[in-house]
Amino acid sequence: MRLLLDEMYAPAVAVELRARGHDVLSVHEADPVLVGASDAEVLSTAVSAERVLVAENVRDFRPLEVGILEGGDHHHGIVYTSDRQFPRGAPTTTGDLVRALDSLLHASPALRDRSVFLAPPSG
């Protein structure tokens, strides 16, 4: 499973996941034009690149996801997080996010045309 991290995630998350052997890009690295781009553009980029999108903005991405599927098209998956479970600015968030995504990537579920909510790592 290949990931594209939306702009609210620190590029360090992608760096740490790559160090663990995963194919992960941050929008900050993939294409600087994507920083500040519309959610539709970010999702379209993930679809074109055959990457699972990791995003926090369920309110905006979920309707886009539904629109893709209702239009007969496909996406490679969306992993949603929340600021409540992975609080921005908290000192442990980057590590918690890396561990949770690493676990998901090792489990390698098929996410084609599906979305999941990422749980914080246990323990």
- The predicted model gives 74-90 an average pLDDT of 93
Question: What percent of the chain is predicted at pLDDT more than 90?
Answer: 82
**What is the pTM assigned to this prediction?**
0.93
pLDDT confidence of residue 75: 95
The answer, yes or no, to whether residue 110 has pLDDT greater than 90, is no
pLDDT confidence of residue 35: 83
Give me the CATH code for the 3-117 domain, please: 3.40.50
Q: Beginning with the edge strand found earlier in the chain, give each strand of the sheet holding 78-80 in spatial order.
A: 24-26, 3-5, 52-55, 78-80, 115-117
Q: What is the dihedral of CA 76, 119, 60, 8, to 10 degrees?
A: -90
**Confidence class for position 123, pLDDT limits 50, 70, 90:** low
Mean pLDDT for all residues in the chain: 93
